[in-house]
């Protein structure tokens, strides 16, 4: 089916344009595509933007367990999450499933069930939903299972996470013991005893990291490192094949990654809220200084859209400069060369956005692979005339 999107302000490689956008099947067609389309969409008053690519999001956990110990059916949770994704303009999502040594929501058993259910549901989901395997490096018993998941199609992202060392050496366990124990279904004393046993195997962790990194390199999985604390740690993970620094803990580590030509991934909620919720570096300041190239939803699906507009501060040209933080740049990190931009031959993943109030943009419609999967109102008549990008 062919579709022509008319009268919108289209964000292309050269900036804003009034040209119509032609969709042929699942892809964008060239301007020479003159055949009469099966459908004409009137995008008057709307911005036409590349779809958001979210390479790190775990807000789905709240659909599975909205309160500690309160679980819902996995299919229900994933379908509800799917609706939230496309309603917020996310056309490609990597669900960050944590594989930890903890019991409960982030246990190996929970991850196993999640991976199986997501792979079964993928064909029926509106958003192109994929896996981001967040392996806690002390979860040694999960090593071989995670290694097996690397062969899934589409290929998952693999990220190395170590929240254990910080809990032990920095004393964060004392501050969060109630929350962590509750999430795991353990008492605080039981959780401390488990952590002590896990910490006792720390000598085995470096070899396990190297082994799994080698498997990821061999299979072609994108490899990331999470919460790196120093330029030296970034260098160690770079040597293992980690192509980007995900949530580096300080500006020095982020700067080291950028100086090496690597992407730095931070959370869009950090921008929207005006700072980190846990005292980490400011994402807005990092972007202004060139220390951040990718924003992700992290724990809040509306944030990538809102972050790009917040950074633009009402300036359409600034929006054009910042939009790649949530589209083309994360697509590059994920090695998805077919999306993140509006040009002939790319996947037709795009958004129609009402930006008449640039502080509160509204996704009017979302298209994934040439199919409208979300629409707030009819697209076959003239929309509001206000245009923010002129």
Domains of the chain: 2-49+342-375 (2.30.40.10), 51-333 (3.20.20.140)
- Going through 109-188 in order, the beta strands assigned E by DSSP cover 128-136, 157-161
Q: What does DSSP say about strands 9-12 and 15-17: parallel, antiparallel, or unpaired?
A: antiparallel
Task: Give long-range contacts, CB 8 A cutoff, 24+ apart: 145-150.
Answer: 145/99, 145/108, 145/112, 146/99, 146/212, 147/211, 147/212, 147/215, 149/115, 150/215, 150/216, 150/219, 150/221
Give the confidence band of 378 by pLDDT, cuts at 50, 70, 90.
confident
Residue 355 has pLDDT above 80, yes or no: yes
Least trusted range by pLDDT, from 44-53, 194-203, 317-326: 194-203
Reported pTM: 0.93
Residue 280 has pLDDT above 80, yes or no: no
Around Cβ 1, how many Cβ atoms within 10 Å? 11
What percent of the chain has a predicted confidence (pLDDT) above 70?
Answer: 93
Q: What is the mean pLDDT of the chain?
A: 92
pLDDT, tens only, 17-72:
999 999 999 999 986 556 688 889 999 999 999 999 999 999 999 999 998 888 99
- Taking residues 110-137, report their average pLDDT: 97
Residue 30 is predicted with a pLDDT of 80
Which 8-state DSSP code applies to residue 340? Answer: S
Residue 385 is predicted with a pLDDT of 41
Give the confidence band of 107 by pLDDT, cuts at 50, 70, 90.
very high
Residue 172 is predicted with a pLDDT of 54
């Amino acid at each position: 089916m062919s579709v022509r999107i008319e009268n919108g302000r289209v964000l292309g490689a050269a900036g804003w344009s009034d040209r119509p956008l032609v969709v042929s099947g699942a892809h964008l067609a060239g301007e020479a595509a003159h055949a009469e389309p099966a459908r004409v969409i009137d995008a008057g008053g709307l911005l036409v933007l590349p779809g958001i690519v979210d390479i790190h999001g775990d807000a789905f956990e709240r659909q599975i367990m909205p309160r500690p110990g309160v679980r819902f059916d996995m299919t229900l949770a994933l379908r509800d999450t799917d609706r939230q994704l496309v309603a917020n303009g996310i056309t490609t999502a990597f669900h960050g499933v944590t594989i930890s040594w903890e019991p409960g929501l982030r246990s190996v058993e929970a991850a196993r069930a999640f991976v199986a259910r997501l792979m079964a549901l993928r064909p029926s989901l509106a958003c192109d939903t994929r896996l981001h395997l967040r392996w806690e490096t002390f979860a040694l018993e999960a090593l071989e299972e995670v290694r097996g998941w690397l062969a899934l199609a589409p290929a998952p992202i693999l990220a190395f996470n170590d929240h254990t060392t910080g809990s032990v050496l920095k004393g964060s366990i004392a501050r969060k013991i109630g929350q962590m124990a509750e999430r795991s279904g353990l008492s605080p004393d039981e959780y401390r005893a488990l952590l002590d046993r896990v910490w006792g195997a720390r000598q085995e962790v470096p070899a396990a990291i190297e082994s799994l990194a080698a498997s990821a390199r061999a299979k072609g999985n994108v490899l990331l490192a999470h919460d790196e604390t120093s330029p030296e740690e970034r260098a160690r993970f770079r040597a293992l094949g980690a192509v980007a620094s995900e949530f580096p803990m300080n500006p020095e580590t982020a700067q080291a990654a950028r100086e090496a030509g690597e992407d730095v991934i931070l959370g869009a909620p950090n921008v929207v809220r005006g700072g980190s919720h846990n005292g980490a570096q400011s994402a807005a300041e990092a972007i202004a200084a060139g220390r951040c190239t990718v924003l992700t939803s992290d724990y809040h699906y509306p944030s990538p859209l809102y972050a790009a507009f917040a950074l633009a501060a009402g300036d359409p040209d600034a929006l054009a400069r910042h939009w790649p933080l949530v589209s083309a740049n994360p697509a590059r990190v994920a090695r998805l060369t077919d999306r993140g931009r509006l040009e002939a031959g790319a996947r037709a993943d795009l958004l129609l956005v009402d930006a008449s109030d640039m502080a509160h943009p509204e996704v009017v419609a979302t298209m994934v692979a040439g199919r409208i999967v979300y629409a707030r109102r009819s697209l076959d008549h003239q929309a509001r005339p206000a245009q923010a990008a002129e």
